[in-house]
Structure formats: C-alpha cells, structure tokens
Amino acid sequence: MAGTTLPRIAVDAMGGDEGVRTMIAGAALARRRHDRFEFLLVGDQTAIEAALENHPNLKAASKILHAPDTVRGDEKPTTALRRAKTTSMGMTIDAVKRGEAGAAVSAGNTGALMAMSKVALRTMPGIDRPALAGLLPTLGDNDLVMLDLGANTDCDARNLVQFAIMGAAYSRIVTGLESPRVRLLNIGTEEMKGTESLRDAAADLKAASAELALSFDGFTEADKLSRGDVDVVVTDGFSGNIALKAVEGAARFVGDLLRRSFMSSLRSKLGFLISRPATELLKHHLDPNNHNGAVFLGLNGVVVKSHGSATAKGVANAVAVAARLLEENLTERISADLARVGAETMRSTGRARTRASAPASTPASTPTSTRAGGAAA
C-alpha cells in the first residue's frame, strides 16, 4: 500500500451531523482497539489538527489530507459527483481507488456516497449493483445482516441473488458461521406469495444453494427480523429502508415508553432502581451506535457508511467494521463465492425466464457488466 507499511483507513472527517470532533474522537477510539491500522483523515486541515490535539495516539498514526469542500446533507448525488475531486467525501473514496487506503468511512450524504463509490471504485466482476448492508440486533446469538437498505429501490431476481451471495459472505465474517441462514423478505412465507422477482430469486437460490456457503430457506416476514432464526435477510432497497426505519422507530418507542413509565410515580422510580441492570442491558441492545456501520457490498473496495447522528462510540464501531472487513478480506470472499456458483449459473440467475422469450440465436454467455455505468441507477 502506497506510503505506509500498515493497513490504512480513510475517514471523511467532515461527514456527519456532530462535526469534526466527533469523527476524530470515534477514529481515536477505534485506533485503540485496532492499533495495527493507520488513518488518513480527510477534510479541513485546521479543524482536524485542532481535534487531534486531544488524541495523541491517533495523531501519531494519522496523515491529514486537506479537502477544501464538503458534501451537504441535502445535496443531490449528481451535483455531489461533479464536486468529488474537491470534497472530503470524494477525496476519501479516491484514496481507496489510488491504493492510499484500504477502506473508506463516511457519515455524510448516503446517496452521494453511493454515487461516488460506484463511479470511483466500480462494481466487482459478476455484480450488477452494489447493495447497502447493515446489522440489526436480534434475540439470537448473532446480529442480523440485512440488505439492501436503500441503495437500489427497484431490483430484479438476479440482483437479489447477488445480494444474497454478498450478504452471506459478510455474515460469515461478522458471525463466524460457516453457512448463514438466508431468507428473502416477503409479505408471507408461502411459496406463492410475493412478486415474480421474489419468487424467481427464491427458485434460483434453491437451485444454486448446493454450490454456496449458505443455507437458503425461502421467505421471512418483517415481524420476524428480530427473532434470531435467520442470519441474512435480502430485499430491495425500497422495502429494506422502510423496514429498517420501522425497526429503529420501534426501538425508540420502547425506550421512550419505558422512560415515561418509570417516571410516572414514586413506585415506578423505585421499580426502575430495582430493574436497572435489565433496563441498561435493553438500552445497550437497542442503541443504534452499537450496531453502526453499514457497508456498500459489491464494490472493488471497502466503503462503510456511518449514521449521520452517530456518537463517537458509533463512529468507532463503523471504523471497526471497516477494519474487520479488511482483516477478513471481504472482497476476496465475495469473489470466491461468485466463482463457486459458476459463471453459467450466475448468467442464468434471474434471466432464465427473460431469455425464454428471446430469439433462439440469443447467446447465453453475454458477459455481465462490471462497470457502474452498465448498472441501472
């Protein structure tokens, strides 16, 4: 890696709602946990240098890359793309493209981050579209990997199968399971339920499951996400984003309801003191900062999206996700899984029914587009 003997993580220090100091504090906390990594801090040099004064450990392991501009939270992706060369977000991603860093972390505008990442890093061979994957808490022993969480509003069966392969590879890293349980999000568990794309994806995953390091078992419903009986849930970005926000809203509702209940009377306050260990455990389990760090899977590089409102602890968790994915060679694992399925299987996935209506002379070996420009927006 250029300029360093240690793996390096590039951090967009200007992204996020809480400002530079929170991003730097989060990186410093992550550095204490992953001291074999160096950091490239991208943004306003004066502001970064001021924030680093409180974190000598991070300062000693960091290089600053000055960026004269930032991406606004309400900025359209197309507008942000035109300014990629001068913004902290664009320069952070470009550092991964140039090999100056192995991974990028940003808490900025999600749409802009996805657009810049697709253009700069391009999609992996065999992947049409990258997907945004995140971790959700469950009642089981492991967190749930869910994708797509908003990168692609419309997906066909081929996209969903690719998401399943990438999600399973990610799950094996974060859970240690050899064969994660994978299901498609649907309005019911019966085989006839859902859209044609969902039913086609289910059929294709069943046919290819023998070649994959995953256990596919049909459909699941949104009310089962937290039960712990599935490790990877696959859906399109429209449904996934709605489901994610519903889960986050339910978690906030439970927390607010408990606080209101415990403050309602003196007896309730005494009950809170008695049950405090249990409520603290619940608070820890529902705190989104403890599960922060969504990943853009399917790119030629690691890009992690931190929540814009994340605390320093949340930023640290996002940086830790990037570090772990570098240590565990996520990109190589996905490539290996795609190769294991086989090129012919992937070409037929989600397209077999389309080809059935095509002229007989249509070649079955049309190569998959591996460029962002060849994937649907």
pLDDT band at 276 (very low <50, low <70, confident <90, very high): low
Query: 3-class SS at 26?
Result: helix
> Which residues have C-beta within 8 Å of that of residue 74, sequence separation ≥ 6?
109
Q: What is the average per-residue pLDDT within 212-236?
A: 90
Which residue matches tokens 């699941």? 220
Does some domain include residue 300? no
Q: Which domain holds residue 336?
A: 124-291+327-353+369-377
Q: Name the pTM for this structure.
A: 0.79
Cα three-residue angle 10-328-121, rounded to 5 degrees: 45
pLDDT computed for residue 63 by the predictor: 94
pLDDT band at 369 (very low <50, low <70, confident <90, very high): very low
pLDDT band at 350 (very low <50, low <70, confident <90, very high): very low
Query: 3-class SS at 243?
Result: helix
pLDDT at 21 over 80: yes
189, 100: one domain: no
205, 75: one domain: no
pLDDT computed for residue 46 by the predictor: 94
69, 139: one domain: no
Q: Which residue among 121, 138, 166 closes a domain? A: 121
Q: What is the average per-residue pLDDT within 76-87?
A: 92
Q: Mind listing the pLDDT tens digit for each residue in 57-71?
A: 999 999 999 999 999
1, 76: one domain: yes
pLDDT computed for residue 113 by the predictor: 92
Does some domain include residue 360? no
pLDDT at 260 over 80: no
Beta strands 8-12 and 38-43 are parallel
Share of the chain above pLDDT 90, in %: 41
65, 192: one domain: no
Does some domain include residue 315? no
48, 86: one domain: yes
Quote the tokens at residue 58: 């991070």
96, 201: one domain: no
115, 142: one domain: no
Mean pLDDT of the chain: 81
84, 141: one domain: no
pLDDT computed for residue 329 by the predictor: 85
pLDDT at 334 over 90: no
pLDDT at 36 over 60: yes
116, 252: one domain: no
Among the ranges given (101-110, 127-136, 286-295), the one the predictor scored with the smallest mean pLDDT: 286-295
> Which has the higher per-residue pLDDT, 336 or 60?
60
200, 285: one domain: yes
Q: Which residue among 67, 102, 121 closes a domain? A: 121
Does some domain include residue 145? yes
Which residue matches tokens 């000055």? 66
Q: Which residue among 63, 92, 121 closes a domain? A: 121
Q: What is the average per-residue pLDDT within 353-370?
A: 38
Sign of CA dihedral 10, 13, 18, 24: positive
200, 84: one domain: no
pLDDT band at 296 (very low <50, low <70, confident <90, very high): very high
Does some domain include residue 83? yes
Helix (H) or strand (E) holding 134, with range, is strand 131-136
Does some domain include residue 191? yes
pLDDT at 377 over 80: no
Does some domain include residue 318? no
Query: Are the beta carbons of 308 and 16 closer than 8 angstroms?
Result: yes
pLDDT band at 23 (very low <50, low <70, confident <90, very high): very high
Please report, as a single letter, which amino acid is at residue 85: K
- What CATH number does residue 10 fall under? 3.40.718.10
pLDDT band at 364 (very low <50, low <70, confident <90, very high): very low
Among the ranges given (148-162, 249-263, 315-329), the one the predictor scored with the smallest mean pLDDT: 249-263
Instruction: Give the integer Cα–Cα distance in Å for 175 and 69.
Output: 38
Structurally, how many domains does the chain consist of?
Answer: 2
Does some domain include residue 231? yes
pLDDT computed for residue 6 by the predictor: 60
pLDDT computed for residue 358 by the predictor: 44
pLDDT band at 302 (very low <50, low <70, confident <90, very high): very high
